[in-house]
Amino acid sequence: MANQEEVFKKVISHAKEYGYIFQSSEIYDGLSAVYDYAQNGAELKKNIREYWWRAMVQLNKNIVGIDAAILMHPTTWKASGHVDAFNDPLIDNKDSKKRYRADVLVEDYTAKIETKIEKEVKKAAKRFGDSFDKAQYLTTNPRVVEYQKKIDTILKRLGKSLENEDLADVKALIEELGIVCPVSGSTNWTDVKQFNLMFGTKLGASADSAMDLYLRPETAQGIFVNFLNVQKTGRMKIPFGIAQTGKAFRNEIVARQFIFRMREFEQMEMQFFVKPGSQKEWYEAWKENRMKWHLSLGLGNENYRFHDHEKLAHYADAATDIEFRFPFGFKELEGIHSRTDFDLSAHEEHSGKKLQYFDHEENKSYVPYVVETSIGLDRMFLAIFSHALKEETLENNSTRTVLKLPAVLAPTKAAVLPLVKKDGLPEVAHEIVEDLKWDFNVVYDEKDAVGRRYRRQDAVGTPFCITVDHQTLEDQTVTLRHRDTMEQQRVAISEVKAIITKEVDMKSWLIKM
Ligand code: GAP
């Protein structure tokens, strides 16, 4: 655990040091769970968004993208159920006066048991070597089976009490498990209470006429309320999808995992409208499609898993999470939900307007069913960034810190470095920058010895360094250094663009889907 914590701390400090993420309003001591994307972070985030948008909108002829407003009519949130049911169960520790999400306290407790299982598995794998069968071990080792049984029993009870809104039982569970406040170490807990996560604001100038609004807690509702507008103006035929990316706001209580859980964050969502009865098939298809999108980035198949929900929200008939192995363990990265006709029907009821599709083949109107894919852009950023950060020991026993971002997403694709600041080398380097800048983000760097400049670019995640030296003046060739392998090749200046394009072009990555 300590190791995981250290890794995570390193991720956070690297993100700051190399201009990826800053605490919001840092000069005023920051705002909790709110972050600013810095010069490199903004580029990486833009590239992830673009990678999602291309896969979703550009490559699917039956999916279109919109950009709905953050502020919506307040009845939207009554219809969607957020006013009445978008709550977290909270509990306070009377000694430390700290507030926690009751369900997260219990889940953290089970995560500790899961860590014990992982330790047992590691030990056994070492003991048995090549003959180790993990699946068999998990189901037969008495200690591991006992741990797993304990986790299942606890989570089942938690799920049931939350579903039945039995908050007294959630408190009883916390007490029975002897969960202590991480700050005071005491078990002196208040009762569990529900707390709505939406941020309120007001529209209008005078106090009497002002209208109470909410900052949207998800982007999806902007799609639902525009369903018929898009269908009619785009002459869309079912099945079809509407996608959008944008900010969402939640007054999160537990906000301590950097950009994993933020109060202001960005979602990339797609609602796929289908014929009632066909939702199961589309749900499976989208599960597969989304996993392929993730795997195309090459972060390793073993770092993803599905977690199918047993306990379903009242509007869903199936739901799963794509979980990623973050530095603090497997956690939700994306949700895929079969949401039935709940949202459109609720908006019909609250607005009094029909939100139906006329199906020419069936010759009848109906409210379509919806399969949703919903991923947090910031969480995807964290997955990529934390996975990319590596400390490597080199042959000469020195270490290098390298950010092995997928080249397609890297903020800067190449750094152009004159070997020395004289003899006309900077001029040639500037010419290369001027030529490449039309196609990629490139930087020029002449400060320090070239070895140090390579290290700086490794740490910031730049996939290529192009070094201009005296030989360049004679034969128009440069040294092209590859970040991940540190391999250096001598290539003609005229070839550089094509070599980089091959590695960073979105098409060559997305085609792997
Ligand atoms: N429209 C469905 C929906 O909003 P969700 O599971 O609440 O579903 C979807 O959120 C995704 O949004 C999550 O899988 C996660 O990636 C991201 N997300 C949710 N809350 C977040 C937060 N507080 N900070 C960062 N990302 C968040």
The tens digit of pLDDT for each residue in 264-313 reads 999 999 999 999 999 999 999 999 999 999 999 999 999 999 999 987 88
- Residues 387 and 348 sit within 8 Å (Cβ to Cβ): no
**Ligand 1 pocket, mutate which of 332, 336, 337, 370 (most atoms under 8 A from CB):** 332
**Ligand 1 pocket, mutate which of 374, 381, 385 (most atoms under 8 A from CB):** 374
What pLDDT score does 253 carry? 81
Contacts with 58 (C-beta within 8 Å, 6 or more apart), sequence order: none
Q: Is 350 domain-assigned?
A: yes
With a pLDDT cut of 70, the percent of the chain lying above it is 99
- Residues 75 and 143 sit within 8 Å (Cβ to Cβ): no
- Residues 435 and 468 sit within 8 Å (Cβ to Cβ): no
Q: Is 387 domain-assigned?
A: no
Give the whole-angstrom CA distance, residue 424 versus residue 42.
34
Please report, for the domain that includes residue 487, its CATH number. Answer: 3.40.50.800
- pLDDT of 102 above 50: yes
Shared domain for 124 and 246, answered yes or no, is: no
Shared domain for 361 and 472, answered yes or no, is: no
Average pLDDT value for residue range 399-411: 97
333 CA distance to ligand 1 centroid (A)? 8
Shared domain for 362 and 494, answered yes or no, is: no
Q: Is 15 domain-assigned?
A: no
Residues 486-512 have pLDDT tens digits of: 999 999 999 999 999 999 999 999 999
98 CA distance to ligand 1 centroid (A)? 24
- pLDDT of 206 above 80: no
Query: Whose Cα sits closest to atom 4 in ligand 1?
Result: 218
Average pLDDT value for residue range 112-138: 91
Ligand 1 atom at minimal distance to the Cα of residue 337: 2
Q: Is 21 domain-assigned?
A: no
**Distance, C-alpha 218 to centroid of its chain:** 14
120 CA distance to ligand 1 centroid (A)? 32
Shared domain for 399 and 465, answered yes or no, is: yes
376 CA distance to ligand 1 centroid (A)? 5
Considering only residues 71 and 165, tell me which one the structure prediction assigns the higher pLDDT: 71
Cβ atoms within 10 A of the Cβ of 11, count?
21
244 CA distance to ligand 1 centroid (A)? 14
CA dihedral sign, ordered 227, 230, 235, 240: negative
Shared domain for 456 and 367, answered yes or no, is: no
Going by pLDDT thresholds of 50, 70 and 90, the confidence category of residue 1 is very low
Query: Whose Cα sits closest to atom 14 in ligand 1?
Result: 334
Residues 41-75 have pLDDT tens digits of: 999 999 999 999 999 999 999 999 999 999 999 99
- Residues 22 and 200 sit within 8 Å (Cβ to Cβ): no
Rg of the Cα trace of the chain?
Answer: 26
Shared domain for 251 and 192, answered yes or no, is: no
Query: Whose Cα sits closest to atom 19 in ligand 1?
Result: 376
* Kind plus residue range of the DSSP H or E element containing 465: strand 464-468
375 CA distance to ligand 1 centroid (A)? 6
Query: Whose Cα sits closest to atom 6 in ligand 1?
Result: 335
- Residues 100 and 189 sit within 8 Å (Cβ to Cβ): no
**Helices 377-388 + 39-53 axis angle, to 10:** 110
- pLDDT of 2 above 70: no
392 CA distance to ligand 1 centroid (A)? 33
Strand 264-274 and strand 369-376: the pairing is antiparallel
- pLDDT of 409 above 70: yes
How far CA 404 is from CA of 37, 51, 106, 451, 486, in Å, comes to 19, 17, 35, 18, 12
Contacts with 146 (C-beta within 8 Å, 6 or more apart), sequence order: none
267 CA distance to ligand 1 centroid (A)? 7
Q: Which two tokens stand for residue 248?
A: 């969402």
Shared domain for 157 and 294, answered yes or no, is: no
Shared domain for 185 and 262, answered yes or no, is: no
Shared domain for 140 and 219, answered yes or no, is: no
Query: Whose Cα sits closest to atom 22 in ligand 1?
Result: 261
Q: Could you tell me what percentage of the chain is helix, strand and coil, using 3-state DSSP and rounding each to the nearest 5?
A: 45, 25, 30
* Last-in-domain residue among 346, 381, 416: 381
**Helices 142-163 + 102-128 axis angle, to 10:** 160
What SS3 class is residue 164?
coil
Going by pLDDT thresholds of 50, 70 and 90, the confidence category of residue 223 is very high
Q: Is 13 domain-assigned?
A: no
Give the whole-angstrom CA distance, residue 458 versus residue 483.
6
485 CA distance to ligand 1 centroid (A)? 36
Residues 417-440 have pLDDT tens digits of: 999 999 999 999 999 999 999 999
What pLDDT score does 466 carry? 98
Which contacts (CB < 8 Å, 24+ apart) does range 293-298 have? 293/52, 293/55, 293/513, 294/322, 294/324, 294/333, 294/334, 295/512, 296/509, 296/510, 296/512, 296/513, 297/51, 297/384, 297/406, 297/408, 297/409, 297/509, 298/406
* Last-in-domain residue among 136, 170, 196: 196
Query: Whose Cα sits closest to atom 16 in ligand 1?
Result: 376
Query: Whose Cα sits closest to atom 10 in ligand 1?
Result: 374
Shared domain for 167 and 258, answered yes or no, is: no
Shared domain for 377 and 236, answered yes or no, is: yes
464 CA distance to ligand 1 centroid (A)? 34
Average pLDDT value for residue range 374-389: 98
Q: Is 201 domain-assigned?
A: no
Q: Is 80 domain-assigned?
A: no
What pLDDT score does 4 carry? 81
Strand 464-468 and strand 200-203: the pairing is unpaired
Query: Whose Cα sits closest to atom 18 in ligand 1?
Result: 376
What mean pLDDT, rounded, does the chain reach? 95
* Last-in-domain residue among 322, 349, 381: 381
Please report, for the domain that includes residue 131, its CATH number. Answer: 3.30.40.230
Ligand 1: lining residues by beta carbon, under 6 Å:
218, 220, 250, 252, 261-262, 265, 267, 269, 332-335, 372, 374-376, 378-379
Shared domain for 358 and 434, answered yes or no, is: no
Number of domains in the chain: 3
**Ligand 1 pocket, mutate which of 262, 267, 320 (most atoms under 8 A from CB):** 267
Q: Is 114 domain-assigned?
A: yes
How far CA 263 is from CA of 12, 228, 371, in Å, comes to 17, 31, 26
Ligand 1 atom at minimal distance to the Cα of residue 250: 23
Domain of residue 217, residue span: 38-74+212-381
Residues 339-365 have pLDDT tens digits of: 999 999 999 999 999 999 999 999 999
Please report, for the domain that includes residue 376, its CATH number. Answer: 3.30.930.10
